Amino acid sequence: MYHTLYNLRTLYTMEKPDPKSRRYEKTRQGIINAAHEIVRTEGIDALSIRTLAEKVDYSPSALYKYFNNKEEIIEALRVEGWNRMQTIFESRLDPSLDSPRKLVKASLAYLELGDQYPELYQLMFNSSVGAPDNIKTIEDDPRFKVLTDMIKEGVKSGEFVLPDDITLLEYRYLAWFIMHGICMLKVSMYRNCLNQFDPLARSIVEKFILMSAHEKSDG
């Protein structure tokens, strides 16, 4: 499940669905959108089969054709969050940039998800469903690799020069820790003063990334 839930768009586009399947998926997506709206405006505690049925004007029993329970709806929202993150990445990345500036753009896009969909971001990282029992599983997951592979490529090309006492894996994790930490602060403690926190967050991201890039030109 950890991998298969990552990108449902890929799954849906592998083969052309028939009209009945398209109607089913359209209705299902409408239910997910309605659930997202409830969570966005009222919080996760307000989401239930009954409140969702009222919002989409369905009977509760009709919803069970699409989701077996509330937990499946919440998991679908997490998938929605990952897919929206991928959409933001795809729209922001510029292949003409060097590795450090690609990573800056990707990192700021990561933070943008927290700006646009704070409720989804919290759901995405607040689940034990499919949690791996091996750290290597996370390291190989596309959600981790999309940022960290840029670092790996930059080190290989010489555009990133790491300190002697830090490994590539440690640096990759450090970059992810910074992105995730900033995002969680944005959607929680600092959510009411983002106009002050955002410039600081952007500056930290840019300086952290370009600091390692500068070492090459300084040496």
The domain tally of the chain equals 1
Residue-level pLDDT, tens digit, the chain, 219 residues: 333 334 444 444 455 678 888 899 999 999 999 999 999 999 999 999 999 999 999 999 999 999 999 999 999 999 999 889 888 888 888 889 988 898 899 899 989 988 899 999 999 887 656 677 888 777 777 767 777 888 888 888 899 888 888 988 898 888 889 999 999 999 999 999 999 999 999 999 999 988 888 544 444
Domain annotation covers residue 143: yes
| Residue-number span of the structural domain to which 76 is assigned | 8-218
Domain annotation covers residue 131: yes
Query: CA-CA distance, 142 to 5, in Å (whole number)?
Result: 11
CA-CA-CA-CA torsion sign (190, 191, 192, 195): positive
CATH of the domain at 210: 1.10.357.10
pTM: 0.79
Query: CA-CA distance, 203 to 73, in Å (whole number)?
Result: 37
CB 34 within 8 A of CB 56: yes
Domain annotation covers residue 2: no
